[in-house]
Structure 1
Amino acid sequence: MSMWSALSDKLDEKVLEDLTSNVKQTQDNLLEEILTLNANTEYLRPFLHGSSDKDTFKKNVPVTTYEDMKLFIDRIANGEPFDVISGTPITGFSLSSGTSGGKRKMFPCNNKYLENLNFIYCYRSFVISKYIDGLEHGKGMVFNFCVPEHTTPSGIPVSAATTLFFKSDYFKNRPPYWHWSFTSPDEVILCSDNKQSLYCHLLCGIVQRDEVVKVGTAFVSTLVRVITFLEKHWEEICTNIRYGRLSEWITDISCRDSVSKILGEPNPELADLIENQCKQKSWEGIIPRLWPKTKFIESIATGQMAQHIPTLEFYSNKLPLISSSYVSSETMFGINMNPLCKPQDVSYTFLPNMSYFEFLLVDAGDEVEIVDLVDVKLGCHYEPLVTNHSGLHRYKMGDIVQVTGFYNSAPQFRFARRGNLILSVHMEITTDQVLLNAVTHAKMVLESSDVMLMDFTSYADISTTPGHYVLYWELKGKYNNSIAEIDNKVLVECCYVVEESLDNFYKEYRKNGSIGALEIRVVQQGTFDSLMEFFITQGASSTQYKTPICIKSTEAIAILEEKVHARFFTDESLSLNFLS
Structure 2
Amino acid sequence: MDGKKLEYKGDEALKAIERLTAEADEVQKSILKEIVTRNRETEYLNKYMKGSKNILDFKRSVPVITYKAMRPYIQRIANGEDSSLITGHHITEMLRSSGTSAGEPKLMPSIAEDLDRRTFLYNLIMPIMNQHVPGLDEGKAMYLYFIKAELSTPCGIPIRAVLTSYYKSKYFKCRARDSFNDYTSPDQTILCHDSNQSMYCQLLAGLIHRHQVLRLGAVFASAFLRAISFLERNWVRLCSDIRTGKLDPGITDLECRSCMSTMLSSPDPHLADEIQGICSRSSWKGVLCHLWPRAKYIEAVVTGSMAQYIPALEYYTDGKLPLVSTMYAASECYFGVNLKPLCDPADVAFTLLPNMCYFEFIPLGENGSMLMDIGEEQEVPRDKLVDLVQVRVGCYYELVVTTFSGLYRYRIGDVLQVTGFHNRAPQFRFICRRNVLLSVDTDKTNEEDLHKSITVAKKLLEPYHALLVEYTSYADTCILPGHYVLFWEIQVQGSEANLATELDDKVLQECCIAVEEELDYIYRRCRANDKSVGPLEIRVVVPGTFEELMDLLIDQGGSINQYKTPRCIKSKAALKLLNSRVKASFFSPRDPKWVP
Identify the TM-score tier after normalising by the shorter chain: over 0.9
Task: Describe how 1:244-393 pairs up with structure 2 within 5 A.
Answer: 244-318=245-319, 319-362=321-364, 363-364=369-370, 368=381, 369-393=384-408
Partner AA of 1:370 in structure 2: L
Structure 2 residue identity aligned to 1:204 = A
Residue type of the alignment partner of 2:247: L
Offset at residue 578 of structure 1 (A): 6.0
Q: Report what 1:81 is aligned to.
A: 82
Q: Is 1:509 aligned to residue 517 of structure 2?
A: no
Determine whether 1:523 maps to 2:524: no
SS of the residue corresponding to residue 216 of structure 2 reads strand
Aligned residue in 2 for 1:535: 553
- The alignment partner of 1:532 has SS state of helix
Give the partner amino acid of 1:502. L
Deviations 1:489-548, CA, capped at 9 Å, x for gaps: 322221121111111211122212222221111101111122122222333233311111
2:226 maps to 1:208: no
Q: How far apart in 1 are the matches of 2:412 and 2:133?
A: 33
- 2:574 partner amino acid: A
Separation in structure 2 between the aligned mates of residue 427 and residue 577 of structure 1, nearest angstrom: 18
* 1:198 counterpart = 2:199: yes
Residue 419 of structure 1: how far off its partner (Å): 1.0
What is the percent sequence identity of the aligned residues?
45
- Give, in whole Å, the separation in 1 of the partners of 2:99 and 2:24: 32
- Shift of residue 482 of structure 1? 7.3
Deviations 1:521-580 (A, max 9, x none): 1101111122122222333233311111011333221111111111112223xx466679
Are 2:49 and 1:31 aligned? no
**1:561 alignment counterpart:** 579
Q: Trace 1:97-176 onto structure 2 (pairs within 5 A).
A: 97-176=98-177
Cα pair 1:44 1:61 within 8 Å, conserved: yes
Q: Distance in 1 between matches of 2:131 and 2:293?
A: 22
Question: Counterparts of 1:251 and 1:481 in 2: how far apart (Å)?
Answer: 39
Q: Is the 8 A contact 1:165 1:171 kept in 2?
A: yes
Inter-partner Cα distance in structure 2 for 1:551 and 1:89: 36
**Retained in 1: the 8 A contact 2:413–2:434?**
yes
Describe the shift of the 1:482–1:263 C-alpha distance in structure 2 as closer, same or farther (beyond 3 A).
farther
Distance 1:374 1:528 in 2: 41
How far, CA to CA, are the matches of 1:463 and 1:379 in structure 2?
Answer: 40
Determine the C-alpha separation between the residues in 1 that align with 2:442 and 2:204. 52
Q: Quote the residue 1:456 is aligned against.
A: 471
| Counterpart amino acid of residue 194 in structure 2 | D
Pair 1:64–1:177, CA change in 2 (3 A): farther
Instruction: Please give the secondary structure, in 1, of the residue aligned with 2:145.
Output: coil
**Conservation of the 8 A alpha-carbon contact between 1:139 and 1:214:** yes
8 Å CA contact retained: 1:522, 1:565: yes
Q: Deviations over 1:278-323 (max 9, x none)?
A: 1111100011110000000110001111111101110112210011
Larger deviation: 170-179 or 417-426? 170-179
What is the rounded CA distance, in whole Å, between the counterparts of 1:380 and 1:511 in structure 2?
A: 32
Q: Secondary structure at the match of 1:531?
A: helix
**Which SS does the other structure have where 1:397 is aligned?**
strand
Give the Å deviation of 1:11. 3.7
Deviations for 1:109-144, whole angstroms, at most 9, x for unmatched residues? 112211111111111221111100110101110011
Once the two structures are TM-superposed, the CA of residue 465 in structure 1 deviates from its matched residue by 2.5
Number of equivalent positions? 573
Moved over 6 A (4+): 481-484
Closer, same or farther: CA 481–242 of 1 in aligned 2, 3 Å: farther
Secondary structure of residue in 1 paired with 2:481:
coil
For residues 520 and 187 of structure 1, the distance between their equivalents in structure 2, rounded to whole angstroms, comes to 43
Q: If the length of structure 1 is used for normalisation, what is the TM-score?
A: 0.95
Give the secondary-structure state (helix, strand or coil) at the position aligned to 1:44. Answer: helix
- Of 143-152 and 197-206, more deviation after overlay is shown by 143-152
Partner of residue 545, structure 1: 563
Deviation at 1:177, TM superposition (A): 4.6
CA displacement 1:190-215 (0-9 Å, x = unmatched) = 11111110111100000000011011
Q: How far apart in 1 are the matches of 2:362 and 2:593?
A: 39
| TM-score normalised according to structure 2 size | 0.93
The Cα of 1:478 is off from its aligned counterpart by: 0.7
Q: Are the aligned partners of 2:513 and 2:592 in contact in 1 as well (CA < 8 Å)? A: no
Mapped partners of 2:226, 2:411: distance in 1: 31
Q: Distance in 2 between matches of 1:479 and 1:195?
A: 26
Partner of 1:420: 435
Q: Distance in 1 between matches of 2:245 and 2:275?
A: 15
Give the match's secondary structure for 1:115. Answer: helix
CA distance 1:329–1:481, change in 2 (3 Å): farther
2:513 to 474, 496, 503: 496
1:471-482 matched pairs, under 5 angstroms: 471-479=486-494
Partner residue, 1:3: none
Is the CA contact 1:122–1:178 (under 8 Å) kept in the aligned structure 2?
Answer: no
* Aligned residue number for residue 408 of structure 1: 423
- In structure 1, how many angstroms separate the alpha carbons of the residues matched to 2:586 and 2:48? 56
Give the 3-state SS of the residue equivalent to 1:393 in structure 2.
coil
What CA distance in whole angstroms lies between the structure 1 residues aligned with 2:150 and 2:95? 10
Q: Which whole-Å deviations, capped at 9, do the CAs of 1:215-255 have from their partners, x for residues lacking one?
A: 11111111111111111000000111110011111111111
Unpaired segments of 5 or more residues in structure 2? 1-6, 375-379
Residue 15 of structure 1: aligned partner:
16
Amino acid at match of 2:468: L
Residues 451-497 of structure 1, C-alpha deviations (whole Å, 9 max, x = no match): 11111101111223322211111111111697884333322221121
8 Å contact kept, 2:468–2:491 = yes
Q: What SS class does the counterpart of residue 505 from structure 1 fall into?
A: helix
> Residue by residue, what CA displacement relative to the aligned partner does 1:358-381 show, whole Å, maximum 9, x if unpaired?
111125558841011111111111
